A and B are shown apart, each in its own frame.
Chain A
Amino acid sequence: MNPEPNAVDAVIDAVSAVFMAVGALMSLAAAIGLLRFPDLMSRMHAATKPQVLGLFLLLAAVGLQLRTWWVWPVLAVAWIFQLLTVPVSAHMVGRAGYRTKHLHKELLSTDELEAVVVKAAKAAREEEEDDGGNHPPSSAIENR
């Protein structure tokens, strides 16, 4: 099947070495981004790199080094689990950061959430006014 198994081995080793080096550089890039970016939202952008792409590259390097087919489903399960949990925690952190104003408004190019927040606040205020308008008559009717 394989005319030169040593050559194939060398190629697989080289590919996994590149994967490991790039995966480690993802972690370094995340740390540099954490140190240099100005606010929470941009730091969250940097922090995602080692969690998804870095872990994918390193798990692929593990699979290439072990050279057995049955490890690939196990590694895929580990990666998919990370892929399911990372967006949820990023959503929670981003939501808490927006609500407690951990962001520089002047650095945003668009703020799509602001329109929704303004609309929800307006709707809540109108509902309150309607309640206030209807309240005295209804209570008067109840009293009668």
Chain B
Amino acid sequence: MMELVLTVTAVALALAAAGAIIRIARGPSLLDRVLAADVLLAILGAALCIDMAVNRHLNNLMLVVAISVIGFIGSVTVARFVADRREQPNES
């Protein structure tokens, strides 16, 4: 049963990461890219958690916490210094 769960979650997380990367590449504004990068980090943390659950170890727990710290610091820093540089104000 674990192989089936691993396949399902791997496919779902791969599709999710692809969607987040498309939004990072396309996103019309800086804040959209920051948000998509945050989601990509959350997907990475989810993959680490699934690895821990399937293989029954706790080696990645510090990595999960570190990833949440990186996402927090990154989005707060970028949001602090954001300015409106779009050509049309409401294209979004």
> With a CB–CB cut-off of 8 A, which chain B residues contact A61?
49-50, 53
What residue of chain B has the Cβ atom nearest to residue A21's Cβ? B8
A28, A44, A100, A104: the one contacting B84 at CB < 8 Å is A100
A58, A81, A85, A96: the one contacting B46 at CB < 8 Å is A58
Given A27-B43, A50-B42, A100-B83; A34-B90 close (CB under 8 Å): no
Chain A residues touching B, range: 35 or more
> B59-76: which have CB < 8 Å to A?
61, 64-65, 68-69, 71-72, 75-76
One digit per residue, 1 when the CB lies within 8 angstroms of any chain B CB and 0 when it does not, for chain A 53-74 equals 0110011011011100001001
> B18-70: which have CB < 8 Å to A?
18-20, 22-23, 29, 31-32, 34-36, 38-39, 42-43, 45-46, 49-50, 52-54, 56, 58, 61, 64-65, 68-69
Given A17-B1, A43-B35, A97-B31; A85-B53 close (CB under 8 Å): no
